[in-house]
Structure 1
Amino acid sequence: MAKHSRHIPKTDKQHLIEESQGKCANPGCCNIRLEIHHIKEWAVYKSHDSEHMIAVCPACHDACHHGELIISDEILYEWKKITRPSDKIHSQIYVEQSSISKLLIGTIALQQAKKRKVTVIKFSTQNKLEFYLDNDWININTTIMNNKGKKALEVINNRLTLNKDEDFTLTQRPGKLTITVPANKFYLPAYALLCMRRQEPSFADDDRVIALDLEVIKPGHVRVQGFWTHDNQAVVITNKTITFCKLHTQEPQFIYGEGEDSVIVYDGPVTTSVFKLAYS
């Protein structure tokens, strides 16, 4: 039966957002801010029928109505047929090109002496942080393990794959994504959590720990926060320091500078991580 109110019922809206897995239904778009588009126009049919509605971002919504390359009804119905994996969350972060690129960690910045891969942290091939330049595009790769030693999230060339787990929370906007975990689940081991709270009293004061945070500051400049652990060691990067924690060690090692102008230009071998000696 036709519904003559322009207000879309909450249940219908939620169904359409779940249908597109919480992102724009356009498989070529990663936006997560969503609007509901009536494929059969409201002005004509005066009906909210979810079979003829779709969740798209504002830019794609505009393209449905006014774009130079119109998104046709046929394309929209094809998008509604897409089956997306239910056990993974995917996202990506876009970084504008720049002739000068830096990875900002704590209060220092890393640059390459040569345009090749720089391994920042590496406990294993499955537990690392690295970046490289490709035609002045900065690409970040990282893998973080969960508290059972299995891969929890992976970023390959700025593209995120996160295992769906109620412990992980992803929040994002264009140019920034943040993944947190509960402090009491010990993804970050207890000794490292205590170590960080001694050094930064406000660390995890909301009882959640940043597992990974990527934020684009300016073209080619990306700030990273997060933690990487292995056996009895942990490296924790906040916006203040890079801290190296070790079980049974009272005083952690840490590195800090004065911001993005405190630059380390790395010219070492690609097989060695920048901070390997600090936690070996």
Structure 2
Amino acid sequence: MTLSAKSLRWSRGGHLVVDDVTIDPVPGETIGLLGPNGSGKSSLLRLLAGVDRPDSGAVTLDGTDIHSLGRRTLACRVAMVGQHAHTEVDIRVRDVVRLGRIPHADVLGRDDGGDAAIAHALEVTGMTEHADRLWRAMSGGERQRAQIARALAQEPEELLLDEPTNHLDIQHQLDILERVVALPVTSYVALHDLNLAAMFCDRVIVLEKGRVVAHGAPAEALTEQMIQQVYGVRAAVSYEGGTPVIRYHRIRASSYT
């Protein structure tokens, strides 16, 4: 068993943003959460992380409602990386990553496995050589990798990533997702790039206005009809080794003369 959702509904400001979503992953799967802006991806991740509480339905961890678990207990199992991370403190990367060890420390602040976990997280994200750099001196992509390292330092069994490829160049997009799917964890990854989702996700869930409109293996869910319906663009879907490859049609020809 792992982190699951059943019949989730959640409204914000009187607007329904997650509408009857059920997810029952196989432990160790990488699940892609897809959909246009405003479709409910980030809201669903916040519910899965226990940051927000659904109006109805439940998020469970090994069959137990996560809101009946203590915050420390939950943080030892579930780690989340949001889209944005800001701080005015001139903190080193190593210390950012060390924040992920807080749930594992005892009342005296001792954490026997902390240094090894931090070193491993830095290595996995390719940030070892940047460990002593200051946060404000790094690019957006480097900060993103540092935040992923912080989450991995928690040594979670469930990992929630909200647009982890933002600010990353193509090489680092591929590198981070390669590293994520190799981890022995259940991962929920919100993505905009359908081709990346097709390459790296075991399953995808496509949201439209908070509802699931497609769900399954990428080859089943990422169809030309779905892309037209949900994203409002025409696309051609071909296959390489069973993996969908999506090529978009231009909406209009250039008017430059």
TM-score normalised by the shorter chain: which range applies? under 0.3
Query: Which structure shows the bigger proportion of residues in strand conformation?
Result: 1
With normalisation by structure 2, the TM-score equals 0.26
With normalisation by structure 1, the TM-score equals 0.24
Query: Which structure shows the bigger proportion of residues in helix conformation?
Result: 2
Q: Which has the larger radius of gyration?
A: 1
